[in-house]
């Protein structure tokens, strides 16, 4: 930015963070941060919803799915059974957890709702820093109750100003005096126009398993993207990796793509949520440390992750927005092979 000092009146002319509040509707009063890196990325951090990324665009093209509910403040959250979907903005990223993920269930006498409550928890002590190379959003999100679990999620969203990439880093610490379950799923939601029947999906996993019989019926078409379908029933596929987790989607019609990478030794479950519905048109590409079948099933399968008192676990997800010359796009498309 130093070289531009003579050209700009304020650094926000090129890049930076601006804070807003929503006025009216169910989102009234919610705090939002709009972040621009000066190279094409613009995204919105929903401060009062776990500092999740509610919107992401690249060079003017939308990347995420925004659900019919729109912005909904945490005060409207219904924590019973499937009440989650009443306020599921989706957006580009909704974090699911931390005490439960997936199907509502009862585990060891305690009832858990769909996808947990962390995405409806406001961030505390949120601030940002910026230098010549990057913008960092820092936020603390507490998932703590008296006589129960006490987890602290420290989130850092690092957006490069040199490349079009974003890294999400979450450190979860157990502040309580006993070991507790720790579940997390990065519910990344791809929407139009990045998502369309022209899109090419690549998940080079070593194994693909259908969630149920309905998904099994189309197992050979798990990577086929359809136009919006009326009366579509969602399909979920579980992908596994040895070490390096990766998924990408590219739409040649808009010459743009997205890469998602993560450490599959920590985020050892990857969910493809294929929802080709009419107006409910979204593709979930979801790294996590669990499947969305409920806390009870994760425990029964011996896959439930626990965190000891005073222990901390860190998870990272790297996002890269892609657009380039014909030669680069040709190479990029060449990487798309079925897993």
Q: Please compute the mean of the pLDDT values over residues 110-116 and round it to a whole number.
A: 96
Question: d(Cα 205, Cα 207) in Å, to the nearest integer?
Answer: 5
Q: Is 0.85 topped by the overall pTM?
A: yes
- 181 sits in which H/E element: strand 180-181
C-alpha dist (Å) from residue 201 to 96, 244, 250: 23, 17, 7
- What are the φ/ψ torsions at residue 219 (nearest 5 degrees)? -60, -30
How does pLDDT run across 299-322, given as a tens digit for each residue?
999 999 999 999 999 999 999 999
Q: Please compute the mean of the pLDDT values over residues 141-168 and round it to a whole number.
A: 96
What are the counts of helices (DSSP H) followed by strands (DSSP E) for the chain? 3, 25
Specify the 3-state DSSP secondary structure of 329.
helix
| Alpha-carbon Rg for the chain in angstroms | 20
Instruction: Tell me the H-state helices in 133-242.
Output: 213-216
Percent of the chain exceeding pLDDT 90 equals 93
Nearby residues of 284 by Cβ (< 8 Å), 6 or more positions away:
187, 188, 189, 190, 271, 272, 273, 274, 275
DSSP string over 84-115: GGGG--EESEEEEEES--BS-EEETTEEE-TT
Question: Looking at residue 57, what DSSP letter applies?
Answer: E
Q: Please compute the mean of the pLDDT values over residues 148-166 and round it to a whole number.
A: 97
Nearby residues of 120 by Cβ (< 8 Å), 6 or more positions away:
49, 50, 74, 77, 79, 84, 87
pLDDT reading at 292 higher than 70: yes
Q: Please compute the mean of the pLDDT values over residues 96-114 and round it to a whole number.
A: 96
- pLDDT the model gives residue 182: 98
How does pLDDT run across 32-58, given as a tens digit for each residue?
999 999 999 999 999 999 999 999 999
Site of tokens 């729109």: 70
How does pLDDT run across 274-285, given as a tens digit for each residue?
999 999 999 999
Nearby residues of 114 by Cβ (< 8 Å), 6 or more positions away:
81, 82, 83, 84, 85, 102, 103, 104
- pLDDT the model gives residue 3: 59
Closest Cα partner for 40 from 195, 169, 168, 166?
Answer: 166
Burial class (CB in 10 A: 0-12, 13-18, 19+), 174: buried
Question: Which structure tokens are listed for 78?
Answer: 């219904």
A 10 A CB-CB count for 238 gives 18
Domains of the chain: 2-334 (2.70.98.10)
Determine contact, residues 248/311, Cβ cutoff 8 Å: no
- pLDDT the model gives residue 333: 42
| Phi-psi region at 9: left, alpha or beta (left = phi > 0; alpha = psi -120 to 50) | alpha
Confidence of residue 238 (pLDDT cuts 50, 70, 90): very high
Question: Which structure tokens are listed for 182?
Answer: 């720790």
- pLDDT the model gives residue 251: 96
Confidence of residue 2 (pLDDT cuts 50, 70, 90): low
pLDDT reading at 329 higher than 90: no
- pLDDT the model gives residue 1: 52
Confidence of residue 5 (pLDDT cuts 50, 70, 90): confident
The total number of residues shown for the chain amounts to 339
- pLDDT the model gives residue 327: 32
Question: Looking at residue 76, what DSSP letter applies?
Answer: G
Question: d(Cα 14, Cα 1) in Å, to the nearest integer?
Answer: 9
pLDDT reading at 337 higher than 70: no
The torsion angle over the Cα atoms of residues 25, 27, 33 and 37, rounded to 10 degrees, is -70
Q: Please compute the mean of the pLDDT values over residues 60-87 and round it to a whole number.
A: 97
Determine contact, residues 317/247, Cβ cutoff 8 Å: no
Question: d(Cα 171, Cα 156) in Å, to the nearest integer?
Answer: 9
pLDDT reading at 326 higher than 50: no
């Amino acid at each position: 930015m130093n070289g531009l000092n003579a050209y700009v009146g304020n650094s926000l002319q090129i890049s930076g963070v601006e804070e807003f509040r929503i006025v009216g509707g169910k989102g009234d009063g919610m705090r939002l941060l709009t972040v621009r890196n000066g190279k094409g990325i613009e995204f919105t951090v929903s401060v009062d919803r776990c500092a999740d990324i509610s919107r992401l665009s690249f060079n003017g093209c939308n990347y995420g799915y925004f659900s019919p509910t729109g912005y909904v403040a945490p005060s409207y959250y219904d924590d019973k059974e499937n009440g989650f979907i009443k306020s599921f903005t989706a957006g580009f990223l909704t974090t699911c957890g931390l005490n439960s993920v997936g199907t509502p269930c009862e585990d060891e006498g305690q009832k858990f709702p769909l996808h947990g409550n962390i995405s409806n928890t406001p961030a505390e002590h949120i601030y940002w820093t910026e230098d010549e190379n990057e913008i960092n959003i820092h936020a603390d999100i507490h998932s703590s109750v008296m006589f129960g679990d006490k987890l602290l999620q420290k989130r850092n969203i690092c957006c490069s100003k040199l490349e079009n990439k974003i890294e999400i880093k979450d450190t979860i610490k157990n502040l309580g005096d006993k070991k507790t379950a720790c579940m997390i799923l990065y519910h990344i939601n791809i929407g139009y126009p990045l998502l369309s029947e022209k899109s090419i999906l690549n998940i080079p996993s070593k194994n693909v398993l259908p969630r149920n019989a309905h998904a099994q019926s189309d197992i050979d078409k798990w990577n086929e993207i359809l136009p919006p379908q009326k009366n579509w029933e969602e399909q979920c596929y579980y992908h596994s990796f040895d070490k390096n987790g990766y998924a990408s989607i590219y739409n040649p019609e808009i010459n743009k793509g997205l890469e998602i990478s993560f450490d599959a030794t920590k985020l050892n479950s990857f969910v493809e949520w294929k929802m080709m519905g009419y107006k409910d048109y979204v593709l979930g590409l979801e790294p996590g440390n669990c499947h969305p079948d409920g806390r009870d099933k994760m425990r029964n399968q011996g896959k439930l992750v626990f965190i000891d008192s005073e222990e901390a676990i860190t998870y990272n997800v790297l996002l890269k927005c892609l657009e380039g010359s014909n030669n680069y796009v040709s190479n990029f498309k060449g990487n798309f092979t079925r897993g």
